Structure 1
Amino acid sequence: MLSLNIIGAGRVGKSLGRLFCHHHVFQIAQVFNLSSASNQAALAFIGEGQAVNDIAKVNSSDITLLAVPDDAFALAIAQLITAGALKPQTILFHCSGSKSSKDLLRLCPNLEHLQIQLASIHPVRSFADPDEVCSDFAGTICSVEGSPQALAILNPAFTSIGARLVNIDSENKLLYHAASVFASNYLVTLMDTAIATYVAAGVEEKLAQQMAQSLASKTLENVFKFGTSKALTGPIKRGDQQTVQEQAATVQTWDADQGALYQAFIQPTIKLAKR
Structure 2
Amino acid sequence: MNKRKREYKILMIGAGNLGGNLLPVLLKKFDSVKIINRNKLGNKELKKIYKLNIETNYNKDDLKNSDVIIFCIQDRYIDGVFKKIINSGINLKDKYFIHFSGSLSSEIFKSNKVNKSNVISAHPIQSFAGWKRNGDVLFRNITMGIDGGENAFALIKYIFKEYKIKYLKINPKDKTLYHIASVIASNFLVTQFHLIQKVIKKIGLKQLNSFDIFEQIILTTLGNIKNKGIKDSLTGPVKRGEMQTIKNHKKELKKKLPVIYNYYNLMTGFTKEIK
TM-score range, shorter chain: 0.7 to 0.9
Contact 1:194 1:212 in 2 (8 A): no
Whole-angstrom CA distance in 1 between matches of 2:189 and 2:90: 39
Q: Hey, what does 2:119 align to over in structure 1?
A: 118
Q: Residue 30 of structure 1 is aligned with which of 34, 48, 67? A: 34
Q: Hey, what does 2:98 align to over in structure 1?
A: 93
Contact 1:137 1:161 in 2 (8 A): yes
Residue 55 of structure 1, CA deviation: 4.0
Residue 94 of structure 1, CA deviation: 0.7
Gaps of at least 5 residues in structure 2 are 1-6
Q: Hey, what does 2:85 align to over in structure 1?
A: 80
Whole-angstrom CA distance in 2 between matches of 1:120 and 1:272: 33
Whole-angstrom CA distance in 1 between matches of 2:37 and 2:91: 17
Q: How does 1:161-240 map to 2 (within 5 A)?
A: 161-206=163-208, 208-240=210-242
Give 2:196's aligned amino acid: A
Residue 243 of structure 1, CA deviation: 2.0
Residue 84 of structure 1, CA deviation: 5.4
Whole-angstrom CA distance in 2 between matches of 1:246 and 1:260: 15
Q: Cα 1:207–1:90, aligned 2, differ >3 Å: closer, same or farther?
A: closer
Contact 1:56 1:79 in 2 (8 A): no
Whole-angstrom CA distance in 1 between matches of 2:260 and 2:149: 44
Contact 1:191 1:212 in 2 (8 A): no
Q: Per chain length, whose mean CA-contact separation is higher, i.e. which structure has more relative contact order (CA < 8 Å, sep 6+)?
A: 2
Whole-angstrom CA distance in 2 between matches of 1:104 and 1:250: 52
Contact 1:3 1:62 in 2 (8 A): yes
Whole-angstrom CA distance in 2 between matches of 1:82 and 1:31: 21
Q: Residue 14 of structure 2 is aligned with which of 8, 17, 35? A: 8
Whole-angstrom CA distance in 2 between matches of 1:142 and 1:226: 24
> Could you state the TM-score of these two structures normalised by the residue count of structure 2?
0.86
Contact 1:30 1:58 in 2 (8 A): no
Residue 56 of structure 1, CA deviation: 4.7
Could you report, residue by residue, the CA deviation over 1:206-232 in whole angstroms, capped at 9, with x for unpaired residues?
254422223212211211121111111
Q: Hey, what does 1:108 align to over in structure 2?
A: none
Residue 83 of structure 1, CA deviation: 4.6
Residue 194 of structure 1, CA deviation: 1.0
Whole-angstrom CA distance in 2 between matches of 1:104 and 1:76: 11
Gaps of at least 5 residues in structure 1 are 106-110
Secondary structure of the structure 1 residue equivalent to 2:167: strand
Secondary structure of the structure 1 residue equivalent to 2:186: helix
Q: How does 1:36-115 map to 2 (within 5 A)?
A: 36-45=40-49, 47=50, 49-56=52-59, 59-60=62-63, 61-83=66-88, 87-105=92-110, 111-115=111-115
Contact 2:11 2:35 in 1 (8 A): yes
Q: Hey, what does 2:3 align to over in structure 1?
A: none
Q: Cα 1:257–1:118, aligned 2, differ >3 Å: closer, same or farther?
A: farther
- Of 214-223 and 82-91, deviating more is 82-91
Contact 2:197 2:209 in 1 (8 A): no
Q: Residue 247 of structure 2 is aligned with which of 245, 250, 274? A: 245
Could you report, residue by residue, the CA deviation over 1:19-39 in whole angstroms, capped at 9, with x for unpaired residues?
121x2x123432112132222
Q: Cα 1:246–1:81, aligned 2, differ >3 Å: closer, same or farther?
A: same
Alpha-carbon RMSD across the aligned residues, in angstroms, is: 2.3
Contact 2:17 2:129 in 1 (8 A): yes
Q: Hey, what does 2:25 align to over in structure 1?
A: 19
> Could you state the TM-score of these two structures normalised by the residue count of structure 1?
0.86
